[in-house]
Amino acid sequence: MAKAYEELELKDDFMFSVIMRDPKYVKPFLETILRIKIAKIEYPEVQKNIDIAAGAKGIRLDVYVEDEKHTVFNLEMQTTTARNLPKRMRYYQGMIDLNILEKGDDYNHLKKSYVIFICTFDPFGLGRHIYTFENRCSEDIALTLNDGTVKIILNTKGTLDDVSPEMKRLLDYVDGKGVSDTFTRDLEEAVQSARQNEKWRLDYMTLQQEYRERFQEGKVEGIKEGKIEGLREGKIVGKIETLYEELHMTVVEIAEKLAISEEEVQRIVDAL
């Protein structure tokens, strides 16, 4: 069951994308995570849709911005545990690169990019607040490929002393532990203000209705096919994809709702 609009927190996709529409929030958010200074955030694109080709699986990015050096930053909230998270990040990175290049453009025009997932769980179970990945030589880890891509996974449940106090307070706030400094207080005030915005409330309700319709379409398409493959593809896979990726329900919740085993749900989730 989707949350009521009044209950949305920063860690919810819709609220996160709404708050990050304002450079005064996304700029310090990125600066805190990356420990860099950004002079200017340029033309933020929130919930940017990327569809490379007809029939291809498109993606909707929570937050997609560039700085004054044209470095690309993609921020994603992830509140449901997913064993396919690394593959998803790889897919996002590839789609972003293809989107950056115009048809027939030279690959030297690819921009430096960061794909950053903020997770409310520890995907590796090592207790770190931050996991940073760059392409390096296996034989000499000091040698980087220097391809301009960085993937970062943040863990709000971290236990190690591995990040700055400012970043720890930010991750704690995302995790629901309340405000503890000026920036988290600003974020909380922005969330409270957004909850009063009637246009955004309507946008959220419209989006939830679209998800519900897509959920029902899966069932109809499966019946139309009149065969096991169509039934599974439409009725089961389609429903699970909507519940998991759009409504952010857990594997356990989906299994309960659809009356199928958790193992079956997990198998389909891993293949999405």
What is the token pair recorded at 104?
A: 């027939």
Q: What average pLDDT score do residues 140-155 get?
A: 96
Q: What average pLDDT score do residues 11-21 get?
A: 93
The answer to whether 248 and 79 are in contact (CB under 8 A) is yes
Q: What is the distance between the alpha carbons of residues 250 and 257, in angstroms, rounded to a whole number?
A: 11
| Confidence category of residue 226, pLDDT binned at 50, 70, 90 | very low
- Residue 239 pLDDT > 80, yes or no? no
Helix segments in 8-78, DSSP class H: 13-19, 23-34
- Percentage of the residues of the chain whose pLDDT score is greater than 70: 82
User: Distances in Å between the alpha carbon of 109 and those of 66, 71, 104, 156, 259?
Assistant: 15, 12, 11, 35, 49
Q: CA torsion, points 113, 21, 204, 237, in degrees to nearest 10?
A: 0
More confident residue, 18 or 258: 18
Q: Average model confidence (pLDDT) for the chain?
A: 84
Minimum mean pLDDT range among 110-119, 152-161, 252-261 = 252-261
Which candidate, 190, 185, 191, 151, places its Cα nearest to that of 170? Answer: 185
At 213 the pLDDT is 77
At 5 the pLDDT is 93
- Residue 160 pLDDT > 90, yes or no? yes
At 56 the pLDDT is 47
What is the token pair recorded at 138?
A: 């296996």
At 263 the pLDDT is 81
- Residue 227 pLDDT > 60, yes or no? no
Minimum mean pLDDT range among 34-38, 199-203, 262-266 = 262-266
Q: What average pLDDT score do residues 90-99 get?
A: 88
Strand partners, 46: 63
DSSP-derived 3-state class of residue 131: strand
- Residue 119 pLDDT > 50, yes or no? yes
| Confidence category of residue 58, pLDDT binned at 50, 70, 90 | low
More confident residue, 154 or 240: 154
| Confidence category of residue 176, pLDDT binned at 50, 70, 90 | very high
- Residue 217 pLDDT > 80, yes or no? no
Termini Cα distance of the chain: 21
- pTM (predicted TM-score): 0.77
- Residue 103 pLDDT > 50, yes or no? yes
Select, from the ranges 3-12, 53-62, 90-99, 244-253, the one with the highest average predicted confidence (pLDDT): 3-12
